[in-house]
Chain A
């Protein structure tokens, strides 16, 4: 009785021990690696529009700053801010008294110079007559040579005096013209049809005017019929912007309307550079901010815009129709794989992506330029100087693991990257989570699809 009991006990203990031993051996020798949960999508075709977004202000296309060329007190100011004016309408009259006096003075000088010239003419005639008479006498040896020379010299002097008087008349005449011009500048008329968008001066104010410099800005006249958005674009995006591109504009003051426009001008130098196109020392020390270039966008629509209103522009820089795309989150960067010198190209699925991707060079207006990806198949492609750079990759789902595939990317919009090389339509790729794609995933890693798998494949 005791023996069968004992045998049964030992059987049970042996069974327990065997099970534990088996589990232990499996646990020890089984390869373990973390399984990464991901979401997937399929490579699909979409049309993309690359947008560059920028903010700025609305300004008139034509805007004239009115400042005087002469100084004085404003005696007439028949316009006010916001008033519409036509070309040649009187804008400002500066006190002309001093300039009238100058004109009179110059005219008097001119008359005086004319009288001097007449006097010099008469003197020359007398000297000419004396010369001719004494020449006759000299020829008949009735006067000495020294006497004759004095008459000759007198004639020459009279001639020179006449020339001088003539030049003096010209100078006086020019003074008169200058005084007339100065006097005329005391009256300022509008150079264009427009609106007084800003009036800085008042009646009775003294204004400073010079010909070389701007002087006091009395007012600004703008043509409000043609307005443009002047936006600032960063240096990375501005290279993709050319005149003629369409833009969608949103004005803060007109939130319920969308406007359209066309790019008309792209600045050749940045806003930080000085007149010579170089950076001043003060601006370079301050320029910790991004370098900006001004782009002008002409509104297609007319609206009661006012200069200085805020505007946001979406400039359509590039278009692609029905191209292969992947979600934005799917593309990440990885260092290029080290080359293997002697291994032959592998045909297995795990290395097909690496064998396919030989050399990738990606360019875009807002992209990092990359160089090459080393492959098992073609190690000669790898350039040693590019080995430090990363390449754009996508993770392709292959059963229960992923393969890393180098891709060439084109433009992007808010949701998708264009894929120009490396993938085919319908391929299942990893689209989430963010940490998995940016950090955890690598070639051959085991994956497990999470709940949020969306299939958005479209047929060609």
Chain B
């Protein structure tokens, strides 16, 4: 009786990564209420472009709508006009330009100031919406992989940062409503609400603007995301996220002051 040697037991095929248990809409909404849950799932689920694309598109569309609504307010248009006039007056006071040049500059600002705002309002959100997840994701991945010794692919960082941008989208709505209520272009849910007149060129005012509820909420959500992706503690992750943010803000404020000092702004 011949007994053929039995074939080796074939190993079952590797299990496919689990598909997302929460729907896209659920993920987008749960970022506000239960971000830990969302990011835990993102870590294990299949990569999903929608996780960063949908918030980016939403942020972009909301920004355009907001810009259109804000610019339709006469008080805001007046404020934009006054900003450029004030800047020109400052140049005249410092002797950088003559009165005649100032008049020409004021006329040009009156004609083209609105155009500048519209261009900025149209183009700015596009860059912010699409650069933010990739640049933020890169920082996320670098910190998570090397500082926190985590192990997750770059695109997971992109998805996490992209999802946290839902906070930004909500921030656009809140900021728009505050601007409409106060009639102040610089209104936001921050300590600048206590200021009578916000001066964008004042470093102290810029610091107060950093104390924005929506920004801090987003940072906390990102901290949760980083902690879940890397496996580190929330405290460590938050320290890194907040530390990097503070450093970036400090560099921007310092650069702004340096540029103003150099060019007499």
Contact = CB atoms under 8 A, between A and B. Distances in A.
Interface of A: 5, 8-9, 12-13, 16, 19-20, 23-24, 26-27, 30, 32-37, 433, 440, 448, 450
A30 B29 CA distance: 30
B30 interface: yes
8 contacts: A23-B178, A26-B177, A27-B177, A32-B75, A33-B74, A34-B75, A35-B75, A433-B85
Nearest to B179: A27
B173 A36 contact: no
Nearest 4 Cβ contacts at the A-B interface: A23-B177, A9-B33, A34-B75, A12-B33
B180 interface: yes
B183 A34 contact: yes
Contacts of B30: 9
B33 A26 contact: no
Contacts of A9: 30, 33-34
Contact of A37 (B33, B34, B82, B180): B82
Contacts of A440: 78
A324 to B, nearest CB: 29
Nearest to B173: A20
Contacts of A26: 177, 181
A23 B170 contact: no
A367 B202 CA distance: 45
A448 to B, nearest CB: 8
Contacts of A433: 85
A27 B32 contact: no
Nearest to B85: A433
A268 to B, nearest CB: 42
B101 interface: no
Interface string B153-190: 00000000000000000100110011011010000000
Given A23-B178, A27-B181, A32-B180, A16 B32 contact: yes
Contacts of B85: 433
A13 B32 contact: yes
A16 B180 CA distance: 18
A33 B177 contact: no
A5 to B, nearest CB: 7
B44 interface: no
Given A5-B34, A13-B29, A16-B170, A35 B177 contact: no
A20 B177 contact: yes
A151 B74 CA distance: 124
B111 interface: no
A24 B177 CA distance: 6
A20 B33 contact: no
B180 A27 contact: yes
Given A27-B180, A30-B181, A36 B33 contact: no
A20 B174 contact: yes
B78 A34 contact: yes
Contact of B183 (A5, A12, A32, A37): A32
A23 B174 contact: yes
Given A5-B34, A9-B34, A16-B32, A35 B78 contact: yes
B213 to A, nearest CB: 10
Given A20-B173, A27-B177, A32-B183, 16 more contacts: A5-B37, A8-B34, A9-B34, A12-B32, A13-B29, A23-B177, A26-B177, A27-B180, A30-B181, A33-B74, A34-B75, A34-B183, A35-B75, A36-B78, A37-B82, A448-B197
A23 B214 CA distance: 15
A401 B27 CA distance: 49
A171 to B, nearest CB: 80
Interface string B9-51: 0000000000000000000011011100100000000000000
A32 B32 contact: no
Contacts of B99: none
Nearest to A37: B82
B151 interface: no
B233 to A, nearest CB: 21
B32 A33 contact: no
Contacts of B29: 13
B93 to A, nearest CB: 10
A320 to B, nearest CB: 30
A32 B170 CA distance: 23
Contacts of A35: 75, 78, 183
Contacts of A37: 82
Nearest to A16: B32
Nearest to A24: B177
B73 interface: yes
A33 to B, nearest CB: 7
B68 to A, nearest CB: 15
A433 B86 CA distance: 11
Contacts of B174: 19-20, 23
A55 to B, nearest CB: 24
B72 to A, nearest CB: 11
Nearest to B176: A27
Contacts of A23: 174, 177-178, 181
